[in-house]
């Protein structure tokens, strides 16, 4: 019997152009290391930027939370799934980041889409950086509002597009595939002058940048009150899982009533909220780890440039090593893997055509000798101009 969906053809088409994706099951991981099929690898493809995912205090908080609250929330937050642990985490986040109120979500993808769908109608405009995350781009293209995309960090183009008081400007704190930062002082000025709202997706800046890990806005000296909506995640530098949206109390109350992914989803487990609260405590005290992270980022960049490799303009733990074609990126990734280094190739459609890369991510668990081992392997692989 024939299928109404050409699944096989679509998969074969991707395989022909080296774009087919496959998963790899890992057997264990601990900070900067990974075990696959019984072999140990140095891991340069994670987002556990501070090496907290295996921190004993966070694991203990998770276990204590399970003992007290059980393994799951048992309901959506507006029924019985909202516990004291969730409330305490929201209050902790608001205090840490200088926000009036915070709302928890199961993941960043859901949080981003919930905000855009709840706020934007056909009478609104949405302005997005061309390199925003897929969750933002996808939802923007599906809404009845008019979406306009501006060139990456191109404030002149954004200024020319803006119309007074018509909607929402969205950009990222740290861009997930390029590692560079959005210009948040300029974005704040444009939003204020035009009377439009401003939203930051700081998934990759939270915990990594700024005093006490408060994120991109803190690192750039931007008052959080100038950014109407903040989104951040707990599965990267904080080492757990989940996400939040923060802003005014009125915004949070509105989302509680109109954000369908929040209203109709089972809440994150209370034990998870306990673990995140402990993680925030550790992140706030992790300035030495952030300083170490900055040192190994500088060490890698200097060494890679001396070897002739092209890097993106990033001073964050996300270091894109630009290769160009998908086949070349896959080949380089495979050669590094043979030497015990796990570095994933990133290909279209995640990045534009002709801009395949190795997305090298560094974490505070990496030591200088780990960086030197990676550089030695890249030197043996040969530069790509």
Set 86, 236, 278, 292: catalytic member: 236
Q: Cβ(312)–Cβ(178) under 8 Å?
A: yes
- Told to judge if 201 belongs to the known catalytic residues of this protein, a careful annotator would answer yes
- Told to judge if 204 belongs to the known catalytic residues of this protein, a careful annotator would answer yes
CA–CA distance, 204 with 224 (Å, rounded to integer): 17
Set 124, 204, 228, 292: catalytic member: 204
User: What are the beta bridge partners of residue 247?
Assistant: 101
What's the gap between Cα 334 and its chain centre?
A: 25
What sign does the CA torsion over 343, 344, 347, 351 have? negative
Set 83, 106, 176, 194: catalytic member: 176
- Told to judge if 86 belongs to the known catalytic residues of this protein, a careful annotator would answer no
Helices 108-119 & 249-258 angle (0-180, nearest 10): 90
Q: 37: alpha, beta or left, given left = phi > 0 and alpha = psi -120 to 50? A: left
184: which 2 tokens?
């948040």
- Told to judge if 37 belongs to the known catalytic residues of this protein, a careful annotator would answer no
Set 43, 47, 326, 344: catalytic member: 47
Set 48, 90, 129, 172: catalytic member: 172
Set 90, 178, 180, 201: catalytic member: 201
Helices 368-381 & 287-306 angle (0-180, nearest 10): 20
Q: List Cβ neighbours of 217 (8 Å cut-off, separation of 6 or more).
A: 173, 184, 200, 202, 210, 223, 224, 227, 230
Set 55, 133, 228, 292: catalytic member: 133
Can you tell me whether residue 329 is helix, strand or coil? helix
CA–CA distance, 129 with 316 (Å, rounded to integer): 19
- Told to judge if 154 belongs to the known catalytic residues of this protein, a careful annotator would answer no
Q: State yes or no: cis peptide before 349, omega within 30 of 0.
A: yes
Can you tell me whether residue 126 is helix, strand or coil? strand
- Told to judge if 372 belongs to the known catalytic residues of this protein, a careful annotator would answer no
- Told to judge if 176 belongs to the known catalytic residues of this protein, a careful annotator would answer yes
Helices 56-69 & 270-284 angle (0-180, nearest 10): 150
DSSP output for 214-277: --HHHHTT--GGGSSEEEEESSSTTSS--EEEEE-HHHHHHHHHH-HHHHTSPPPPHHHHHHHH
- DSSP secondary-structure letter at 35? E
Listed residue (54, 56, 38) closest to 46, CA to CA: 54
Residue 118 CB coordination number (10 Å):
19
Catalytic residues: 47, 133, 172, 176, 201, 204, 236
């Amino acid at each position: 019997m024939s299928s109404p969906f050409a699944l096989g053809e679509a998969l074969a088409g991707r395989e022909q152009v080296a774009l087919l994706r496959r998963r790899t099951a890992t057997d264990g991981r601990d900070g900067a290391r990974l075990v696959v099929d019984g072999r140990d690898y140095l891991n340069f493809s994670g987002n556990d930027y501070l090496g907290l995912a295996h921190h004993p205090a966070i694991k203990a908080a998770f276990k204590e939370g399970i003992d007290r609250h059980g393994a799951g929330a048992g309901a959506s937050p507006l029924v019985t799934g909202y516990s004291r642990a969730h409330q305490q985490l929201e209050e902790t986040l608001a205090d840490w980041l200088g926000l009036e109120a915070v709302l928890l979500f199961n993941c960043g993808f859901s949080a981003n889409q919930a905000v855009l769908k709840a706020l934007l109608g056909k009478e609104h405009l949405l302005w997005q950086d061309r390199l925003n995350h897929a969750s933002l781009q996808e939802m923007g293209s599906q809404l009845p509002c008019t979406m306009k995309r501006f060139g990456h960090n191109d404030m002149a183009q954004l200024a020319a597009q803006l119309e007074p008081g018509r909607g929402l400007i969205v950009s990222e704190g740290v861009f997930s595939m390029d590692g560079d930062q959005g210009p948040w002082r300029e974005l704040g000025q444009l939003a204020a002058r035009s009377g439009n709202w401003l939203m930051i997706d700081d998934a990759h800046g939270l915990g990594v940048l700024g005093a006490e890990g408060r994120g991109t806005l803190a690192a750039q000296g931007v008052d959080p009150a100038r950014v109407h909506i903040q989104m951040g995640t707990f599965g990267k530098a904080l080492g757990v899982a989940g996400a939040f949206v923060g802003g005014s109390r009125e915004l949070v109350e509105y989302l509680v009533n109109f954000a369908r992914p929040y209203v109709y989803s089972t809440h994150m487990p209370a034990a998870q909220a306990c673990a995140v609260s402990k993680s925030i405590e550790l992140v706030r005290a992790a300035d030495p780890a952030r300083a170490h992270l900055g040192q190994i980022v500088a060490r890698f960049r200097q060494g890679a440039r001396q070897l002739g490799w092209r890097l993106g303009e990033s001073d964050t733990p996300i270091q894109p090593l630009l290769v160009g074609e998908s086949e070349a990126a896959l080949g380089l990734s495979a050669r590094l893997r043979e030497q015990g280094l796990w570095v994933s190739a990133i290909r279209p459609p995640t990045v534009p055509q002709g801009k395949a890369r190795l997305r090298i991510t560094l974490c505070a668990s990496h030591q200088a000798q780990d960086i030197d081992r990676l550089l030695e392997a890249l030197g043996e692989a040969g530069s790509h101009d």
